Amino acid sequence: MLKWEEQVVSAFLPMGVQRAVSQSRKSLSDDHGPTKLQYQHIEGSLCLLYFGLFISIVAFVGELVCNKCRPEISSK
């Protein structure tokens, strides 16, 4: 398959595209297996999680405060 791809690219595509295909093929061959997960890989997800947690705590405390400040409705 790669030989056919190489023939088609060299025959029909411009030189810039040929270079891009060549570079992408090199980067695929440089793959060294799985990458160790680091903090920077999940930093965005954790920021969203903490933001949602903060908003939910603020809403919960706001409900508690509103409930304390509201006058009691007595049923007679």
The single residue listed with the structure tokens 């595509």 is 13
Residue 1 has pLDDT above 60, yes or no: no
In this prediction, residue 64 carries a pLDDT of: 94
With H, G, I as helix, E, B as strand and everything else as coil, classify residue 71: coil
Mean of pLDDT values over 58-68: 94
* Global pTM value: 0.49
Q: Which helix (H) or strand (E) holds 68?
A: helix 39-69
What gap in Å lies between CA 21 and CA 12, rounded to an integer? 13
In this prediction, residue 7 carries a pLDDT of: 81
How large is the C-alpha radius of gyration of the chain? 29
The band of 74, judged by pLDDT with boundaries at 50, 70 and 90, is low
> Which carries the bigger pLDDT value, residue 57 or residue 28?
57
